[in-house]
Amino acid sequence: MDEGICSRKQGNVVGIKNDVPGRSAAINRSLRRTLVLQVNIEQAMQSSLFSFCILYFSFYISTMMYPYLKALHIIFVVTWFAGMFYMPRLFIYNTEAGNKEEMAKNALREQFKIMMKRLWFGITWPSAILTLIFGGIVLQQGGWYNLFGKPEGMWLEIKLVFVFFLYLYHFSLHAIYKQQMNGVFKYSSQQLRIWNEVATIFLVAIVNLAAVKESISFVWAIVGLTGFIIVLMSAIKIYKAIRDKK
């Protein structure tokens, strides 16, 4: 291209320097349009290449990385439940330490405070946050959100309701944690034992929904969960009776 016609800088048209003598205005206008079209084509190709890279990366994440993202989600669910299973046990031990002699009580409660703080903020809270993050990614990358509002997606909607209440349960444990760290003991060890088993109920419900999905009978699921709760509460009462006899 004749430099007397146009100049280009960083892929853009700067403008016309001058017209070449001996060329008609029509030829100069044609050359200008040709150069502008060339620049536009180059910019479009660059934009298309960037879009292709984004689409390829998204495809790679959704296909190749999806199993690993799902695995991370399950791992943090497991560690989260581990924290929620053990934390109420520490609440129980901390409460029952009040029945010891003053020196033993103070020593035990100081130790339990350290254990509770490390468990709650070192494992349970991070796991709860990462479970939510990776759960959202799996929901989106796996296309599970497409099931919302459809009969075959009822299991997923029910599961998410259980997950919502599980987070409320998590926050209830956080409230008890703050109380005990401040030396406030509102609940007896028996009440805390019952509250400790709530996480088990959520675990059974959520795992069953995730495993059997739409093939599960809603009625039988409710019956089974109710029966499990009855058995669980009966076991707690039997355990308490045995402890009282001792």
- pLDDT tens, 151-174? 888 888 989 999 999 999 999 999
- The CB-side HSE value for 67 (13 A sphere, CA atoms) comes to 2
Query: In this structure, which long-range contacts are made by residues 117-125, counting pairs with CB atoms below 8 Å and at least 24 apart in sequence?
Result: 117/181, 119/83, 119/86, 119/87, 119/90, 120/83, 120/87, 120/174, 120/177, 123/79, 123/82, 123/83, 124/80, 124/83, 124/84, 124/87, 124/170, 124/173
pLDDT at position 166: 97
Whether this model's pTM surpasses 0.75: no
User: Can you tell me whether residue 121 is helix, strand or coil?
Assistant: helix
Euclidean distance between CA atoms 132 and 125, whole angstroms: 11
Predicted local confidence at residue 195, as pLDDT = 93
Confidence of residue 18 (pLDDT cuts 50, 70, 90): very low
> To the nearest whole percent, how much of the chain has pLDDT over 70?
70
Q: Say if residue 52's pLDDT is above 50.
A: yes
Inform me whether the pLDDT recorded for 4 exceeds 50: no
pLDDT at 10 (0 to 100):
42
Q: What is the mean pLDDT of the segment spanning 177-200?
A: 93
The pLDDT of residue 8? 44
- Tokens for 226? 């109710």
pLDDT of residue 3 exceeding 50, the answer is no
Considering just the CA atoms, what is the radius of gyration of the chain in Å? 32
Q: What is the mean pLDDT of residues 73-81?
A: 96
Question: Residue ranges of the domains in the chain?
Answer: 6-59, 74-245
Q: Mean pLDDT highest for which of 4-8, 154-158, 238-242?
A: 154-158
pLDDT value at position 174? Answer: 97
Mean pLDDT of 17-43: 59
pLDDT of residue 17: 45
The answer to whether 87 touches 120, Cβ cutoff 8 Å, is yes
Is the distance from CB of 198 to CB of 225 less than 8 angstroms? no
For range 174-194, the mean pLDDT = 94
Amino acid at 129: I
**What confidence score (pLDDT) does residue 12 get?**
44
Q: What's the mean pLDDT in 209-217?
A: 71
Taking residues 69-85, report their average pLDDT: 95
pLDDT in tens, 113-131: 999 999 999 999 999 999 9
Q: What is the pLDDT of residue 117?
A: 96
Distances 132 to 57, 80, 85 between C-alpha atoms, Å: 23, 11, 18
Give the residue with greater pLDDT, 65 vs 134.
Answer: 134
